[in-house]
Amino acid sequence: MRRAAQLVTAVVIGSATMALAQNTQQSVFDRLDTNRDGWLSAEELAATPRAAGDDLFKDLDRDSDGFVSRAEFDAFAARRGQLLAQPARELRAALPILREPEVSEGTPAEIARYRDAAAYSAANGGLVLLVMKKGRAVFEQHIEGSTPEKAYQIASGTKSFWGPLAAVAIQDGLFSLDELVADTLTEWKTDPRKSRMTVRDMLTFSSGLESPRRLWAERDKNLYTLALGLAAVEEPGKRFTYSEVHLYAFGEFLNRKLAARAAKIGPGTPETAHEYLERTLLKPVGIAGGRWHKDATGQPAMGDGAVLTARQWAAWGELIRNRGKHGDTQLIPADGLAKCFESSTANAAYGMTWWLNKPSNADLASIADRAGERRRRSSDQVSERGIVSGRLPDLVMAAGAGQQRLYVLPSEELVIVRFANADMPAAVMRGEYNRLNLNFKDEEFFTRLLAPARTEGTPK
């Protein structure tokens, strides 16, 4: 153990530090892995003359199996892609140290895979990893500074609420998917494109509305009114643009539907779209009343406003995994929820407010945000290839800026939450994406999380 700690200290603090700082952790790992088996053993780590405490090696060998995996090495070596060249006594305080798991259940092999996936996530800006299996938390791990009680902005993960809510509203008789939006947003009736837009077009992000890139950064305005005034630059249903503008239009549409229903019932203040969401879905699963970012009028941000703990976001994922059923209550009609996971005509990789594990089949659909600069985001890559290329066909995902993730994988009875990039909200609002670690890859994560036989082919 002592010899292993000596080499690790030499690599991180000695001459290899500069190489690692230039994103060459892999080459250093490969140089040390003399037998090329993908693991660093105590014998392979015995060459350095430097000295260090055994506890440093224990921090690096997270699963205590006497070997160091590449993910364990990366998690020790990197924080947001930058190494900290400091004396050994300061390393433990400065580097991203994974707390001991709050929960760790399963077979030794399963726990080892969960740890490996958590280490990979941490090495790429991860803060929290929560794995739910059959509705039970089997693994939960945090970077120091994070706790199970800490809530994070899920950013565009918020979008995933509205497709399922639409299924509830349809069952309630408020509207249909193929209803013309202009019958309710009557100011659109004279517009040649907006007048043909359907509810389905809004929820599949193919409304045709202009999609300002930084709409989410303009919360000093009434974003609902702003969205209604945007031009329709494409024919409805033809072109996918990943933007919350569609949801602000949907929010105003739903507000008016709820107001019209309330007027028939009698005096009283009608529900808003957000209040309807909380009453019908969020409160029953225990996640209502939390923080929610708002626009200048005090209305919740439709596409990126929710702030949740990992357990709260997982509760939403469990409702989806159970086909809309919570306990003995069917909160979302199963057939309506299923429509959220059907490919839209504009982009096979997207349904109704959820990412699907399918590659896009439409020109330019891989450019998820075509407004403003053409910086490729992780959503662009998902749109192009699917979440995990060629595998796990029933996997669906809610994803947010800074690589926040909610995965739902029914065939494996899994719901997984990942939070990442502590600087995400401020950095994104300022457009400082260089401050974020965006190297996390969904495919690599699932390769580590699941046994090889479970990452290929069709669901069992």
- Which percentage of the chain shows pLDDT scores above 90? 55
Residue range 204-219: mean pLDDT, rounded: 80
Q: 92 pLDDT exceeds 80? A: no
Cβ contact 25:69 at 8 Å: no
pTM (2 d.p.): 0.78
The whole-angstrom separation of Cα 369 and Cα 212 is 9
pLDDT of residue 23: 38
- Spell out the residues 6+ positions from residue 336 whose beta carbon is closer than 8 angstroms to its own: 164, 166, 167, 168, 170, 171, 324
Using alpha carbons, select from 47, 42, 44 the residue that is nearest to residue 10.
Answer: 47
- Rounded to the nearest 10 degrees, what angle do helices 108-123 and 442-449 cross at? 160
Q: What is the DSSP string of 81-131?
A: TB-----HHHHHHHS-PBPPPSEE-S-HHHHHHHHHHHHHHHHTTEEEEEE
pLDDT of residue 385: 83
Q: 278 pLDDT exceeds 60? A: yes
Quick one: pLDDT band at residue 2, thresholds 50, 70, 90? very low
- Tokens 């995902």, located at residue: 397
Q: 14 pLDDT exceeds 70? A: no
Residue range 176-189: mean pLDDT, rounded: 98
The tokens of 248 are what? 């602000």
Q: 11 pLDDT exceeds 90? A: no
Q: 225 pLDDT exceeds 80? A: yes
First to last CA, the chain: 41
Using alpha carbons, select from 225, 171, 193, 210 the residue that is nearest to residue 336.
Answer: 171
Q: 79 pLDDT exceeds 50? A: no
Domains along the chain?
2-94 (1.10.238), 152-454 (3.40.710.10)
Cβ contact 399:303 at 8 Å: no
pLDDT tens-digit profile of 421-460? 887 777 766 667 677 788 899 999 999 999 764 554 443 3
Q: What is the DSSP string of 293-351?
A: -B-TTSPBPTTT-BEE-HHHHHHHHHHHHTTTEETTEE-S-HHHHHGGGSPPSS-TTB-
Quick one: pLDDT band at residue 216, thresholds 50, 70, 90? low
pLDDT of residue 189: 97
Quick one: pLDDT band at residue 213, thresholds 50, 70, 90? low
The whole-angstrom separation of Cα 390 and Cα 188 is 42
Q: 105 pLDDT exceeds 90? A: yes
Average pLDDT, the chain: 80
The whole-angstrom separation of Cα 75 and Cα 143 is 10
pLDDT tens-digit profile of 279-317? 999 999 999 878 898 888 888 999 999 999 999 999 999
pLDDT of residue 371: 39
Q: Which of 11-15, 198-202, 227-231 has the lowest mean pLDDT?
A: 11-15
pLDDT of residue 289: 79
Using alpha carbons, select from 441, 434, 419, 456 the residue that is nearest to residue 127.
Answer: 419
Q: 187 pLDDT exceeds 50? A: yes
For residue 47, which phi and psi values (nearest 5 degrees)? -85, -20
- Which percentage of the chain shows pLDDT scores above 70? 70
Residue range 380-384: mean pLDDT, rounded: 74
pLDDT tens-digit profile of 246-260? 999 999 999 999 999
* Range 139-155 burial, b when 16+ CB lie within 10 A, else e: bbbbbeebeeeebbbbb
Q: 408 pLDDT exceeds 90? A: yes
In order of 156, 219, 307, 308, the CA distances from 298 in angstroms are 19, 9, 16, 19
CB atoms inside a 10 Å sphere around CB 183:
12
